[in-house]
Amino acid sequence: MLLAMVSDVRVVLIKLADRLHNMRTLEHLRPNRQEAIARETLEIYAPLAHRLGMGKVRGELEDLAFRYTTRSATSSLGAVESRRTEGEQFLRSVEDTLTEQLRENNIQAASSGASSASTPSFKSSSAPSQLRQVYDLLAVRVITQDVAACYAVFGLIHTQWHPVPDASKTSSPCPAPTATSRCTPR
């Protein structure tokens, strides 16, 4: 509805950039004002950025706002952030290795890695002790031309890296030989 009321989307982009800057410098305000601005950011600006397809801006707005709305959980969020930073380095090495393996085996496929914002992952875990079990901070997506290439890539990945039990989500249409793969019937 807000987007429909604005005649020029550039106004919305400027407001999002301004809010992002304000959130980055929020520590200079009084605690009650910090929390009010952070809640407004979570309720209005982060969803607006998501609606506009600005996932990185949305993630940063949520992460910054989360610090001020749930102060008791901020130390646990720091642990998730450090895991994500280490994981992003690992993800780059996985992408490089996978690209090399695909090239060596003459498999036509496109792969990409992604890192998600830590706030939704933290909010979805019911207790800080479960943070070790948050598996969706990093992901690798491989897109192939046909089913045979899909299974070839699947085999390459499973020979190079061992799956974590009950943590792997695949979009493979047929049953795989391991119990860790989830199947989606056609």
Q: Tens of pLDDT along 104-128?
A: 999 888 877 766 555 554 454 444 4
How does pLDDT run across 133-164, given as a tens digit for each residue? 555 667 788 888 888 888 998 888 888 887 77
114 secondary structure, DSSP code = E
d(CA 27, CA 68): 9
Q: How confident is the model at residue 185 (pLDDT cuts 50, 70, 90)?
A: very low
Cα 94 → chain centroid: 17
Q: How confident is the model at residue 6 (pLDDT cuts 50, 70, 90)?
A: confident
Most confident of 22-26, 105-109, 129-133: 22-26
CA distances 156 to 115, 150, 178, Å, are: 22, 10, 14
pLDDT at 37: 95
How does pLDDT run across 67-86, given as a tens digit for each residue? 888 865 555 556 666 666 77
Nearest to 82 by CA among 126, 122, 123, 38: 122
Per DSSP, the residues of 142-153 read: EEESSHHHHHHH
How does pLDDT run across 47-56, given as a tens digit for each residue? 999 999 998 9
Q: How many CB atoms lie within 10 A of CB 157?
A: 19
Q: How confident is the model at residue 43 (pLDDT cuts 50, 70, 90)?
A: very high
d(CA 68, CA 58): 16
Q: What angle do CA 169, 118, 87 make, to 5 degrees?
A: 65
Strand partners of residue 109: 144
Strand partners of residue 112: 141
Instruction: Spell out the SS3 assignment of 32-96.
Output: HHHHHHHHHHHHHHHHHHHHCCCHHHHHHHHHHHHHHHCHHHHHHHHHHHHHHHHHHHHHHHHHH
Long-range contacts of 88-95 (CB under 8 A, 24+ apart): 88/115, 88/138, 90/138, 91/115, 91/138, 91/140, 94/140, 94/161, 95/140
Q: What predicted TM-score, i.e. pTM, was given to this entire model? A: 0.51
How does pLDDT run across 163-177, given as a tens digit for each residue? 776 665 555 555 444
Cα 83 → chain centroid: 13
